[in-house]
Amino acid sequence: MIDLPKIYRTMRLICLFLFVALIQVSASTYSQNTKISVSGNNLTIEEVFGIIEDQSEFSFFYNVKQLDLSKRVNVDINNEQLKKVMEVVLEGTDITYSINNRLIIIHKKNERNPLERMAQQKSVKGTVSDENGQPLPGSATLD
């Protein structure tokens, strides 16, 4: 006998997974298709970042204390992909970038991405026990 509720449930899950996969593909291609125009003389890198934020849905994430974004650049880029703009702006610096969804993470070339460092924080798991080795009910460990 055919179990129709189970088949419908499976079909709904498949549709949900396909929808999530399509959304992910759409998000990853946004950075490849976004065109930016930046033109100006003697602009700071930080000012160029502001122009990029104004023309797109991207935001920048960086530590002001660790990075010097006051370097001045001359830029004349018309309708280019974000990757090209970032290469031109960061050329000759010890700064690089990575893109995570619509967040551009700026960091030094010799450092790991700050989001990767935060994701690798260690968690502690265990059991709180009394002097006899018996688990204590209602107890928990905190990070």
Indicate whether 23 belongs to any domain: no
Q: Looking at residues 64-76, what average pLDDT do you find?
A: 87
Indicate whether 52 belongs to any domain: yes
Which pLDDT tens digit goes with each residue over 77-131?
999 988 899 999 999 888 888 888 888 888 888 776 555 555 555 666 777 788 8
> Cα separation of 100 and 46, whole Å?
19
* 3-state secondary structure (DSSP) of residue 108: strand
Q: Which uninterrupted H or E stretch holds 8?
A: helix 4-33
What is the domain range of residue 106?
34-119
Which pLDDT tens digit goes with each residue over 22-63?
666 555 566 667 889 999 999 999 999 999 999 998 999 888
Indicate whether 27 belongs to any domain: no
Total count of domains within the chain: 1
pTM of the entire structure?
0.59
pLDDT > 70 fraction of the chain, expressed in percent and rounded: 79
Which pLDDT tens digit goes with each residue over 133-143?
888 777 766 65
CATH of the domain at 74: 3.55.50.30
Cβ count within 10 A of residue 49: 21
Cα distances (angstroms) measured from residue 60 to each of 26, 34, 51, 104, 120 = 20, 15, 11, 5, 21
